[in-house]
A and B are shown apart, each in its own frame.
Chain A
Amino acid sequence: MIAESVHMSQETVREETLDNIVEDVRRDFPILTQTINGEPLVYLDNAATSQKPRSVIDRVCSYYEEHHSNVHRGVHSLSQRATEMYEAARETVRGFIGAASTAEIVFTRGTTEALNLVAQSYARPRLGSDSEILVTMMEHHSNIVPWQILSGQTGAKVVVTPIHEDGTLDLDAFEQLLGDKTCIVAVAYISNSLGTINPVEHIIERSHARDIPVVIDGAQAVPHMPVHVGELDCDFFAFSGHKMFGPTGIGVLYGKETLLDAMPPYQGGGDMIESVSFSGTTFNKLPHKFEAGTPNIAGTIGLGAAVDYIQNVGYDFIQKHEARLLTTALSKLSELESIRFIGQAAERASVISFLLGDSHPYDVGSVLDKMGIAVRTGHHCTQPLMDHYQIPGTVRASFAFYNTIEEIDRLCSALRKAASLLQ
């Protein structure tokens, strides 16, 4: 009895501490104090894009107000300062994901551009008409369509790893599909629709055993868990700034230096060259070879601030609090009579997809919006996955570390109202 009560009080203390931290971090996000349709905003669309802390907003503003200039070009002081800030952000990102060198950090527009870059620069020259690209049923369109385009260009086939009913990958099938023709494996770390955390370590190990390179779509991973590309040993890793509390229009492609070095440029233009003449052009060294034209300087610097912010808040807190949000939300939501969860993996991030009776997700989302609650409805850019479950889409509530237990209560009572209105 004593042992149990001691244990209980420790639990409560821990929960209280988490709540205090949440209260603090919420103050960092100016947008969260808004009211929507007369109700305090409950922002549960974090998998689509996350909100921005004051420090990111301020860093971007101060860049424009005090330091703006073009990078890598000028002899003048401002240009040097902008270049230093831009390259400092690259170093910050390198440390954040555990890459060996800044040569391995290529700034892109986002995950989408990073994946297209890998498809066109790495895979295209290596694929023949009998090659196979192995993806999974739960990929985002941005990890499907670039491969389909590549398939159209080369005749290579896009092969799909099926999933189990609970939304986990069928690893036996994966093992069988991984074959002599497989030239590249492209997998999401975390599914944006189901929240499933895929066993990417296993996938990488099995693929490497056959000398097949692996691209990880990490868009949904970085906001929720620490990532170390060196330990993962993945060949490429793509993610977006805007889903990890940074600005839109900036993302990262990590690639192993030896691979990036051997790849032709993705786009041509300024900054990516060493010298240009009409008899021949030599390309700049890594990573600049892949950053043609004036880059998104403010976005990059803002991304650096987002990394700083995450590291300040700490993944320890993020993971503990989000795990609590997830279990609380799942248990409270399952009290709703007509709820049907889509995806029930044991290993999952704080992303919950569901249907409410036979109500159209679009109706549910509209009614929730009237009560100030922002969720996403539809296919979430994963149409093949929705077809697999034979549904037009889902309602998706996706949490970030600034969400609260109280907001889960608001969601549940709003869903009850929606059910009474729509059913």
Chain B
Amino acid sequence: MTPIGTIAERAGTIVDEFALFDDWMGKYEHLIEMGRSLPLIDEAYKTNEYLVRGCQAQVWLKAEAEGDLIRLTADSDALITKGLIAILLCILDRQPADAVVGADFSFLDEIGMKEHLSPTRKNGLDSMIKQIRLYAALLSHSKEVS
């Protein structure tokens, strides 16, 4: 499922994909499609423990270590939110945890999606990024000490 390549390479692919659409409707459609193809998080993890705070929609996010790589699964009850998660996961899932910690998230601006988001969505997106970074930091830290 998850494409191969570094964070920068995967981000580049997604930026190119979104560049194919020049109006918001097309971009939204593509975003929603990405959300629909998101592998769902197991119902068992749709609990408060995995809830990301600061989103108007509910977002659940789970991170695990797979060797040196971070495994991310997530879901939301809102489609556009799910699309945003899908972008993040497409780029960050199965990447080295320390690469995620240091990742440059400016690709989000290049996608041209940010300007189409309301402030509450942007806050929600920031909360998701923060949570992913936190998980990644924990994983790479625990690797160092072990």
A370:B79 contact, CB within 8 angstroms: no
Stretch from B3-11, B23-31, B128-136 that touches the partner? B23-31
B80 at interface (Cβ–Cβ under 8 A)? yes
Q: Which of chain A's residues have a CB closer than 8 A to the CB of B28?
A: 367, 370, 421
Collect the chain B residues with CB atoms within 8 Å of residue A367's CB. Answer: 28, 80
In the bound assembly, the distance between CA atoms of A370 and B29 in angstroms comes to 13
CA distance A360 to B24 in the complex (A): 19
- B118 and A366 form a contact (CB under 8 A): yes
Give the residue name and chain of the B residue nearest to A38 (CB). B24
| Chain B residues within 8 Å of A311, by CB | none
* B38 contacts chain A at the CB level, 8 A cutoff: no
B 56-94 contacts with A by CB, 8 A? 56-58, 77-81
Cβ of B119 to closest chain A Cβ, rounded Å: 11
Partner of B78, one of A363, A369, A370, A417: A363
Size category, A interface:
10 to 19
Report A382 CB to chain B, min CB distance, Å.
15
Chain A's nearest CB lies how many Å from the CB of B32?
7
* A8 contacts the other chain (CB 8 A): no
Interface of B is mostly: helix
Q: Which residues in B have their C-beta under 8 angstroms from that of A378? A: 56
Q: How many residues of B contact A (CB 8 A)?
A: 17
Residue of A nearest to B120 (CB): A362
- Asked if B56 and A363 make an inter-chain contact with CB atoms under 8 angstroms apart, the answer reads no
Given contacts A369-B118, A392-B77, contact A377 B32 (CB under 8 A): no
Task: Look across to chain A and name the residue whose beta carbon is closest to the beta carbon of B78.
Answer: A360
Q: With an 8 A cutoff between CB atoms, is A101 at the interface?
A: no
**B25, B56, B77: the one within 8 Å of A421 (CB):** B25
Interface residues of A (CB under 8 A from B): 37, 359-360, 362-363, 366-367, 369-370, 377-378, 392, 417, 421-422
Q: Contact residues of B with A, CB < 8 Å?
A: 24-25, 28-29, 32, 56-58, 77-81, 116-118, 121
For the complex with contacts A363-B81, A366-B117, A378-B56, 18 further pairs of A-B residues with Cβ separation under 8 Å are: A37-B24, A359-B79, A360-B57, A360-B77, A362-B57, A362-B78, A362-B80, A362-B81, A363-B78, A363-B79, A366-B118, A369-B118, A370-B28, A392-B58, A392-B77, A421-B29, A422-B32, A422-B79
What 5 A-B pairs have minimum CB-CB distances, sorted nearest first? A360-B78, A362-B78, A362-B57, A363-B80, A363-B78
